[in-house]
Structure 1
Amino acid sequence: MASAGKAEKKRKVLVLVENLPSPFDRRVWQESTTLHAHGYEVSIICPTGKGYEKHYEEIDGIHIYRYDLPLEAEGAKGYLVEYSAALFHTFRLAWKVLFRHGFDAIHACNPPDLLFLIGGFFKLFAGKRFLFDHHDINPELYEAKFGKRDFFYKLMVLFERWSFKTADVSIATNESYKRIAIERGGMDPDKVYVVRSGPKLDRLRQLPPKPELKKGAQYLVGYVGVMGAQEGIDLLLQSARHLIVDMGRKDVHFGLVGGGTSLEQMKQMAADLGIAEHVTFTGRVPDQDLLEMLNTSDVCVNPDVANDMNDKSTMNKIMEYMALGKPIVQFDLVEGKFSAQQASLYANKNDPVDMARKIAELLDDPEARRRMGEFGRNRVINELEWVYEEPKLLAAYDRLFGEPNAARPAPMQPT
């Protein structure tokens, strides 16, 4: 296999990521450690974050350079400031990496879709290769955040297209994203590789439940993810209120793991709905705390709002729930349904009352919970674990470096 010979050539890769620090970003870290294990020298440039304040450190042989962002953006002006600062620091640190370690290729993970400016610069003036790792569909993300298709939406579409035009190879997280790369991005289908964000079971360990996390309730409903607008936490809280107040289910507690710009707002909303004592917001916590909450949960939920963005996106939380053998309730979304299949019940789109009913249905049916959890875990073990995605990532890199026996991407399958 072409990748096996990388130890001799020692190909060098620079990974750019803006929205999360490494190694906290699971997908980026799995990609980076996979490349390192197959003989690539990997450097990462990313922002600092809680628990990841060092501006440089080496972890598992990977060089990580971090920069401080002036703020965590919410509005359009905030994003302009954040992304401008991120581009400046990323470009500055790319030169440091070039002179200190060197790199043959840039692997840029969006958002934002502006990293092609840096990839394109080094491709044009230094002969480096450029791989675009399409994590989020930014035009749809903009519409989900701001509810309009205005000039800035069209600008997002333009930036996305330029990212694909600049890329020698692109990676999509699912078939929906691959279709966008080809149809909207104008990418050659042979240069688009689907690499799903499969979980690693050595990290997502099944642990004994901790009953104290239920706060005296019989059942725990778990959530892990960002506390932001398009994640539908407001819908989840409305669902919790219907379950607890309208349906009289005082035997349920909700454990919500994750940070984000809307965290304090969501805490206030829980208080306003009169359910604060039935909801625990942990904020961003270490892996051990996250695992304890999910392992203790009887049902896990994904309240992502039904919109173009979420309909086409594969959510890591779904895979994590399945890896831990948890039954799921989520809204009826294309990629969410493709991932979970029989491991989930599907509520009517953006309907918190129906979500509450589906949660209650599962809480009252332990056999269904067991069956669905077992189905989900087996699907991860046999089909979706990261080990099945590693060859696809390496094939994309073989293509990037022009290896003669590079595996071609599989044809698109219907989602």
Structure 2
Amino acid sequence: MAQRRPHIVIAVVNLPAERDRRVIRECQALESAGYRVSVICPRGPQRPATLPGTVATRIHSFPQPLAGSGVLSFAAEFAWALIAVTVRLLALLLRDRVDAVQVCNPPDVFWPLALLLRAAGRPFVFDHHDLSPELYECKTDRPRRTVLWILRLFEKLSWRCASAVISTNESYRELAVDRGGCAPERVVVVRNGPTLAEVRHDGIPAPRAAGEKERFTVVYLGVINPQDHVEAVVLTAERLVHLRGRDDWRVVVAGDGDSLPRLRELADEHDLTDLVTFTGWLEADEVGALLRTATIAVQPDPPTRMAQLSTMAKTVEYVARGLPVVAVDMLETRRTAGGAAHYVPTGDPDELAKAIDQLLADSETRTDMQRVARARFETELAWDHQVKAYLALWRRLLPDAPSATTAESPAEEPVATDRLTTT
């Protein structure tokens, strides 16, 4: 008689699972290791029944009628997320045995489910994606003490109530131990990043139009919200005009967000529309094709506490393609990019423009940085390395899973997803 495969349910509520590359990779890894997987998530426009890139991971989606823009609306959104996930999880528990649950934040409201699952003898894993208190401080001019206290309490409960915690970098792990009081052995680091196969499958760059001159390409890839400081990239282009003229370079801003309309206006106001291109969100293959044409990438995030402690997904994407990076000097950025980046103190446009101009003029330094970037990705940052810690955690929590010959290797096909999310 065939051995029953343990069933793991993953819940993610900040975006549809088919757009979350980390969740897709986790599901691929669990399937390859012999587990059965279901995902609970908000309903996307295409409403797939099976998670793209996986063999048989089923999606159990829910509508997301609420969109937060203030404290009360965010509270309503988080309450709805808890209710929607709980209802779908209970339905799965009643009709299809669930052996363990993994929940990805934000928000940090699922600790009551952790208590219920653990009381029933089933593991509950907290996959810690964002620092909710620090994120609130970044997005709010005047943070309310009461809101911060609640966010910190819920964060601590999320850490403490879980059977195990997955942190996306060492800083998050240190916070789980120091601020959350978690035993160090309960917290494992699993970084974000593409697989080696995904990078090998990058799309082919579009050919230049007839007569179009080849130019250096400076790229920003990611979310474009106020806290991301992307206006500095546009103003950097203005400074570059004064440093090196307009003939041999261009800036591409790839992504979307609340600040994008204002950035388009800013480029027009400073007479930069011929030098700064806005692509909007790109499909995964388009991201690969763009980064293959790039000369330098930019990470302009200001040195807030949130940014100091967080690993920016865009930085890993840059390093994976061997791109030299100009970045604000922050702890986790250095831990990610190392010698593949040139660091500036604050992200001021004058600092960024000077650093970019120097790198564009120094092909030997760029080549050395490219070599460092590729080596860091291939030997440390690629998901192929991170997945080992992820699967080791699940083997400890659910030791009865049937063995699989592909357990150590993620899927060789590139991740299928509608859009690249980078924060």
Normalization by structure 1: what TM-score?
Answer: 0.88
Aligned amino acid, residue 93 of structure 1: R
Structure 1 residue aligned with 2:407: none
Q: Please, which of 88, 91, 98 is the counterpart of residue 93 of structure 2?
A: 98
Q: Is the 8 A contact 1:173 1:197 kept in 2?
A: yes
Counterpart check, 1:279 vs 2:279: no
Counterpart check, 1:307 vs 2:304: yes
Structure 2 residue aligned with 1:83: 78
Stretch of structure 1 that moved more, 77-86 or 362-371: 77-86
SS across alignment from 2:17: coil
Equivalent residue runs for 1:7-18 within 5 Å: 8-18=3-13
Counterpart check, 1:293 vs 2:290: yes
SS across alignment from 2:92: helix
Structure 1: how far apart are the matches of 2:248 and 2:193? 33
Counterpart check, 1:335 vs 2:332: yes
Structure 2: how far apart are the matches of 1:331 and 1:197? 20
Residue ranges of structure 2 left out of the alignment (5+ in a row): 401-423
Counterpart check, 1:169 vs 2:164: yes
Change (3 A) 1:344 1:72: farther
Identity %: 34
Aligned amino acid, residue 169 of structure 2: N
Stretch of structure 1 that moved more, 185-194 or 201-210: 201-210
Equivalent residue runs for 1:44-63 within 5 Å: 44-49=39-44, 52-54=45-47, 56-59=49-52, 60-63=55-58
Q: How many equivalent residue pairs?
A: 394
Q: Please, which of 99, 102, 111 is the counterpart of residue 107 of structure 1?
A: 102
Q: Please, which of 249, 252, 260 is the counterpart of residue 252 of structure 1?
A: 249
Structure 1: how far apart are the matches of 2:68 and 2:273? 27
Change (3 A) 1:241 1:78: farther
Stretch of structure 1 that moved more, 283-292 or 250-259: 250-259
Spell out, residue by residue over 1:322-376, the C-alpha distance to the aligned partner (whole angstroms, 9 max, x if none).
1111111110011101111111111122322101111111112222222211210
Spell out, residue by residue over 1:196-218, the C-alpha distance to the aligned partner (whole angstroms, 9 max, x if none).
11320211235554354998561
Stretch of structure 1 that moved more, 346-355 or 65-74: 65-74
Q: Is the 8 A contact 1:55 1:65 kept in 2?
A: no
Structure 2: how far apart are the matches of 1:21 and 1:159? 23
Change (3 A) 1:366 1:240: same
Structure 2 residue aligned with 1:238: 235
SS across alignment from 2:59: strand
Aligned amino acid, residue 145 of structure 1: K
Stretch of structure 1 that moved more, 67-76 or 195-204: 67-76
Structure 2: how far apart are the matches of 1:274 and 1:115? 49
Stretch of structure 1 that moved more, 324-333 or 269-278: 269-278
Spell out, residue by residue over 1:209-247, the C-alpha distance to the aligned partner (whole angstroms, 9 max, x if none).
435499856121112211112222122222222223565
Q: Is the 8 A contact 2:169 2:189 kept in 1?
A: yes
Change (3 A) 1:89 1:267: farther
Q: Please, which of 341, 345, 363 is the counterpart of residue 348 of structure 1?
A: 345
Shift of 1:258: 1.8
Change (3 A) 1:116 1:244: farther
Change (3 A) 1:156 1:216: farther
Q: Is the 8 A contact 1:107 1:131 kept in 2?
A: yes
Q: Please, which of 23, 26, 30 is the counterpart of residue 31 of structure 1?
A: 26
Counterpart check, 1:64 vs 2:59: yes
Aligned-CA RMSD value:
2.4
Structure 2: how far apart are the matches of 1:201 and 1:111? 28
- More relative contact order in 1 or in 2 (CA 8 Å, sep 6+)? 2
Change (3 A) 1:253 1:75: farther
Stretch of structure 1 that moved more, 281-290 or 115-124: 115-124
Change (3 A) 1:55 1:218: closer
Residue ranges of structure 1 left out of the alignment (5+ in a row): 1-6, 404-415
Spell out, residue by residue over 1:62-117, the C-alpha distance to the aligned partner (whole angstroms, 9 max, x if none).
11122232255444344234323322322222223334433111101111111223
Normalization by structure 2: what TM-score?
Answer: 0.86
Counterpart check, 1:325 vs 2:322: yes
Q: Is the 8 A contact 2:194 2:317 kept in 1?
A: yes
